[in-house]
Amino acid sequence: MSPIIARDLTKTFGAFTAVDRLNLEVRQGEIFGFLGANGAGKTTALRMLTGLLKPSAGTAEVAGIDVSRHPNRVKQRIGYMSQKFSLYEDLTVRENIRLYGGIYGLKPAEIRVKTEQVLRELELTDLQNALARALPLGWKQKLAFSTAMLHDPAIVFLDEPTSGVDPLARRQFWELIYAAAGRGVTLMVTTHYMEEAEYCARVSIMADGRIAALDTPARLKARFGVGTMDEIFRAIRNA
């Protein structure tokens, strides 16, 4: 069954409808791009899917679990990385990894193994005792991603993971995403870098709380008769 399913997912805040009957299904092992302008409802939708926010109506099923009814059960199965915060700034790199290992319930031996693994893969061994806040942004994001993956979740949600990161680190980050997808992980990513939409198998574009378009980048470009994702975005906004 599909790892992520939203059926008529809705969230209202008083008179304002932030997410209006969202319907989507993300396939196993897919990199799914969740796009939309600020205020279109992306973050709200993402929060509902990760169990952080209770839907006003509709259902969200992640890893087969009804998220609104059992938000805690789903947390063991998913990884979540938010743009604003994922690492504790006043803990060292090593301490952060160990912390998340503990939080996700890994046994001490596993944590040790994973710590070395992550440090090696990200080439952070020399910096393992540096405070997280001293790391350049790109490295922080890569580390945050790795900690979100420590417990080998089958599904990962990434909220604007590359905002403000330098062009090199940004691409290296996406290669981590590709590698994870290659291992069968399902990833849902939000971003406002239009070119990153191209890295996704399928993308959805949200506007005013609804999905305005959902398809592969190639088919979307064909449908709108344009050459870049940027133009699609503009077309939708001007519609």
Question: Residues interacting with another protein, by CB under 8 A?
Answer: 37-38, 88, 90-91, 95, 98-99, 101-103, 134, 136-138, 163-169, 171, 174-175, 178-179, 181-182, 194-196, 198-199, 217, 228-229, 234
Of residues 47 and 98, the one with the C-beta less far from another protein: 98
Question: What's the min distance (Å) between Cβ of 196 and another protein?
Answer: 8
CB pairs under 8 A, 24+ apart, for 83-90? 83/159, 83/160, 83/161, 83/163, 86/140, 86/144, 86/147, 86/148, 87/132, 87/140, 87/143, 87/144, 87/147, 88/132, 89/131, 89/132, 89/133, 90/131, 90/132, 90/133
Of residues 101 and 153, the one with the C-beta less far from another protein: 101
Q: Do the Cβ atoms of 160 and 190 come closer than 8 Å?
A: yes
- How far apart CA 227 and CA 61 sit, in angstroms, is 34
Which residue, chain included where needed, has tokens 């803990």? 91
Question: What's the min distance (Å) between Cβ of 38 and another protein?
Answer: 8
**Residues present in the chain in total:** 239
Of residues 95 and 215, the one with the C-beta less far from another protein: 95
Question: What's the min distance (Å) between Cβ of 114 and another protein?
Answer: 13
Expressed in percent and rounded to 5, the helix, strand and coil fractions of the chain are: 40, 25, 35
Question: What's the min distance (Å) between Cβ of 176 and another protein?
Answer: 11
Question: What's the min distance (Å) between Cβ of 217 and another protein?
Answer: 7
Q: How many helices (H) and strands (E) does the chain have?
A: 9, 10
Of residues 62 and 202, the one with the C-beta less far from another protein: 202
Of residues 19 and 87, the one with the C-beta less far from another protein: 87
Question: What's the min distance (Å) between Cβ of 130 and another protein?
Answer: 10
The DSSP bridge pattern shows strands 155-159 and 57-62 to be unpaired
Of residues 52 and 91, the one with the C-beta less far from another protein: 91
